[in-house]
Amino acid sequence: MAIVLDANLLIVLVSGDPRREQVLAQMTEWLQQNTPLHAPHLLPYEVANALTRAIAAGQFSRADLVVHYYCVQLR
């Protein structure tokens, strides 16, 4: 089985969302089991859009945007 990552999972990891530990545990399990992880080509744009919405909602500052964006980039 392969997993296609969604931008929302990555945003949960960096945004202080209360579901962070659950998502981190699941992603760690996938990595430990060598489960193939795939990311859509649009993922960086989806992440940037979600972070922009979070800034507009006041969840964190613009200064944090660069840090959060680079934390979730997959190459």
pLDDT of amino acid 63? 74
Confirm whether pTM is higher than 0.75: no
In angstroms, the CA 21 to CA 24 distance is: 5
User: Is residue 68 within 8 Å of 74, Cβ to Cβ?
Assistant: no
Domain ranges of the chain: 3-72
- Per residue in 2-28, pLDDT (tens digit) is 999 998 888 888 877 899 999 999 999
Q: Is pLDDT larger for residue 73 or for residue 25? A: 25
Q: What is the mean pLDDT of the chain?
A: 84
Tokens 């979600």 sit on residue: 50
